[in-house]
Chains A and B, each alone.
Chain A
Amino acid sequence: MSHIEHLDQIYRTSPRRVAKMMAIMLGICLVGGTIFFGMWDYWISGVSPASIARAGKVEITSPVVATGKEIPVSLNFIESSDFRTFAFNALPGEPDHNPTITAAVGDKIIFNVKNAGKSFHAFGVTQEDEGTGGIIPGSNIQSASNPIKPGQGGQSEFIPGKEGIYYYICTVPGHRAQGMQGQIIVGDVSAKTENTETEPITGSPMPAPELKKAPETIVKEKPEQTMKEEPKTNTPFTGTISISPGASTPGCDKTNECFIPSDVTIKVGETVTWSNNDSAAHTVTSGTPTDGSNGTFDSSLFMAGKTFSHTFDNTGEYTYFCMVHPWMTGKIQVN
């Protein structure tokens, strides 16, 4: 009831028009919601180019003549019950732990991967020997931002274009360092002795969300880890020490992974061969970086892919280093 007769007509809206407005808005929300939820995985499926570029060099290998041989590999992501150790298929010390795959150039390795753990994971193959960069296109299954949830799985394939050592890893940051990596040996290259001294993440991490009772996980506790990392070899010494890829950059010495294995025990009369699996030239020189060469053996510079051998005729402890990259050190105990 308006008391203002002299005013222009006052127009008030009606319930019908208000309902129409609500219907339009609701309709827009429903359409938007359908698009969003219908394509739920798409919106976070990709990775920025900057993140690919930052993490190592992705080798674009030229198309390979496929040999026609297919190597199917089944891998399960698993975790130790305290979530400090991660691995493929079995925990360290158990059979089939992080199985090494051998292949020839041109073979097609088909990965069939399943998340048998409680945390989230993702998969990829890289040539980098640490970190989650340099994932070879086609080998990846999902990503850290769009990970494989427990119970889920996926497939990918990898055709190596050249000889060398590749690694299949979990590409979620930190998981490789916690043990989720294995080797793919392509061609006639010595296997790197697997460093099972995975850095345990101490402290008290909370278990991953969706904590259910563990159905089948291997519960064996990892043996006590010392603070200083000393890699223990758990495969017997085959006579070859590998100069690891990337040893020409400082950092491998922190984990004693410049020469793998870096500590070796042999018998008198045995021969040790060093294989240069890095891209840079190295030396293997007896002595220490601070005191220099002591003359017992010296390979002088040998190139990538080459080897150097020395036969130890006397007992004793022999330390050696690389003259070009003095952070690289190793030791041979001759009994």
Chain B
Amino acid sequence: MSGHSNWSEWVYIGVVVAILVWVGAEAWNVERIIDHVPENAEVIKVTGQQWFWTFEHADGTIEKGELHVKKGIPYKFEVTSKDVIHSFNIPDYLVLMDAVPGRINTVWFVPVDAGQFPIQCREFCGLIHYNMRGTLYVEDGLDR
């Protein structure tokens, strides 16, 4: 059944496999680094529900629909949902993690630029999924 002996095909397959191995190894390495949450990350609890986001800071402050963070500080998001699956997404910072009811998923980031960035939902959750938005405010090390 598998009696191909043509050298050109073997070379081609060799090249393809080499590229895939390289992609896999690089991806493995980068993900290994990203998966490790920094020790001193400040915890923010993110709760998604139809159709808005609620944020609870480590000191108990609650924000709805907007999130204020400080530049240069690592933050760890503990993401969950109250009803259906949502997905917490800050596209400008590549923050993406599903909000699943019944479990808490973790994702972290360090905001390196001050400014305003959109927050959106990245998992279909019903009628206002398209407008389940918020704003991330990154402040220059001011006290909140």
Contacts and interface: CB of A to CB of B under 8 A. Distances in A.
B133 A144 contact: no
A229 B52 CA distance: 18
B50 A173 contact: yes
B131 A202 contact: no
B50 A202 contact: no
Nearest to A147: B127
B103 interface: no
Interface stretch (A160-168, A203-211, A310-318): A203-211
Chain A interface category by residue count: 10 to 19
Interface residues of B, number: 19
Contacts, number: 47
A203 B66 contact: yes
Given A173-B51, A173-B83, A205 B64 contact: no
B135 A204 contact: yes
B74 interface: no
A229 B61 CA distance: 10
Contact of B134 (A172, A203, A228): A203
Given A173-B49, A173-B83, A202 B62 contact: no
Contact of A202 (B49, B61, B63, B126): B63
B72 interface: no
A200 interface: yes
A320 to B, nearest CB: 21
A174 B50 contact: yes
A205 B131 contact: yes
A229 B131 CA distance: 25
B61 A227 contact: yes
Contacts of A200: 64
A202 B127 CA distance: 19
Contacts of B62: 227-229, 254
A230 interface: no
Contact of A227 (B63, B119, B127, B131): B63
A199 interface: yes
Interface of A: 120, 144-145, 172-174, 199-206, 227-229, 254
8 contacts: A201-B65, A202-B134, A202-B135, A203-B65, A203-B66, A203-B135, A204-B133, A205-B131
Interface of B: 49-52, 61-66, 83, 119, 126-128, 131, 133-135
